[in-house]
Amino acid sequence: MNELEIIDYPIQNWVKAIIILGTILILFSRLYIGNRFQYLFSFWNIHRYFHYKSGETISLFTPNNVIMFILRILITALFLFMLFKDNYLTDQKEFFFKLSIGLSVLILLKFICENTISLIFKFKRKLNEINRYRIGIKNLFAVHLYFYLLIIIFGDLSTKNLYTISLTLFVVYNVFYLKFILNKYLINGVKALVYFILYICTFEIAPTIGVIYLIK
């Protein structure tokens, strides 16, 4: 039965090209940051990614973050494509490119809005601290999602199991993200915690729900 399914639903060449490109980007990242890359594979040791050596920490804008940003856009778009491809049977490649462009625009708008608000309310320095850790965790997310995507594409998951597992992993990822930020003592006091929760709901959860609603 599996063989028949593979014959009936072959993996399209452009999907293979995206996977290969993702592999190349990961290899470039490994070459650029060296042994620090190993810490992107583990939730429990991610702090070593930020402080690989005493006195060193990652910056916001580095070549590696650019590489990982491209990887995150491509892999996230391909992941969403795999979830909802049955709704776009006649224009799947176009759907993927629209997802890629849409995610890029969304992240750019989030960046502009966040920095504008941080300037208005004078918490630019705190936002930079949070973003330094957030971008690092997003890099971890991109690497993990890449391998999860390989399981989806070359595995034999039913649609129901795919949705259930994906939702569970999404919740786990966000819980880990919030816990990691809070453990870094970046949020001090009830007022700051309320602002942080509003930030998460506005700039993290709401855009994700909006994207899923639009593509469904």
Mean pLDDT in each 10-residue stretch from start to end of the chain (216 residues)?
A: 43 87 94 84 73 58 88 93 79 88 87 80 74 82 92 80 87 81 65 65 66 63
Please report the pLDDT score of residue 9 as a whole number: 46
Helices (H), the chain: 2-8, 13-33, 47-50, 63-84, 92-120, 124-154, 159-183, 190-200, 206-215
Length of the chain: 216
In angstroms, the CA 42 to CA 164 distance is 22
What's CA 187's distance to the chain center, in Å? Answer: 23
Number of domains in the chain: 1
> What distance in Å separates the CA atoms of residue 9 and residue 104, rounded to the nearest whole number?
29
Question: How confident is the model at residue 28, as a pLDDT?
Answer: 94
Which amino acid is it at 182? L
Angle between helix axes 92-120 and 124-154 (nearest 10 degrees) is 160
pLDDT of residue 146: 94
Residue type for position 1: M
Q: Give the domain extent around 143.
A: 2-215
pLDDT at 120: 81
Alpha carbon distance 202, 140 (integer Å): 22
CB atoms within 10 A of CB 71: 23
HSE-CB of 85 using CA atoms within 13 angstroms: 18
- pLDDT at position 127 is 73
Sequence-ordered alpha helix ranges (H) in 51-123: 63-84, 92-120
